[in-house]
Amino acid sequence: DSGVTQTPKHLITATGQRVTLRCSPRSGDLSVYWYQQSLDQGLQFLIQYYNGEERAKGNILERFSAQQFPDLHSELNLSSLELGDSALYFCASSVYGSTGELFFGEGSRLTVL
């Protein structure tokens, strides 16, 4: 158990819909990362937050947004969903915002029909 909690574990929805994925980092970790993993794309970095502030941005679509709240949990919002958004979405946390190991949650599997 990494100590990172993600909900929901599974989510099935339709194209055009909007979903929110939630992540609670390990106790004491200030930084949260979101990654998308699909079969043909591998693990793709989306966005990182550190203590409530956006720290780094990767290949995140404009339809996607995220935030980190004062209690350090984070949410990833995916809107106008398309079939190609079906993937595993992982959250990871670390103590600091750079270097060091990442602790990953078990992921949220999103299926868009």
Partner 1 sequence: SQKIEQNSEALNIQEGKTATLTCNYTNYSPAYLQWYRQDPGRGPVFLLLIRENEKEKRKERLKVTFDTTLKQSLFHITASQPADSATYLCALGAGNMLTFGGGTRLMVKP
Residue among 61 and 102 whose Cβ is closer to partner 1: 102
Closest Cα partner for 88 from 78, 73, 100?
A: 78
Residue among 46 and 78 whose Cβ is closer to partner 1: 46
Residue among 52 and 97 whose Cβ is closer to partner 1: 97
The minimum distance between CB 3 and partner 1, in angstroms, equals: 11
The minimum distance between CB 45 and partner 1, in angstroms, equals: 6
**Residue found by looking up tokens 């909007």 in the block:** 18
Beta 53-57 vs 42-50: how paired, if at all? antiparallel
> What is the contact surface with partner 1 in residues (CB under 8 A)?
2, 4, 33, 35, 42-45, 48, 50, 55-56, 58, 88, 90, 92, 97-107, 109
Residue type, 21: L
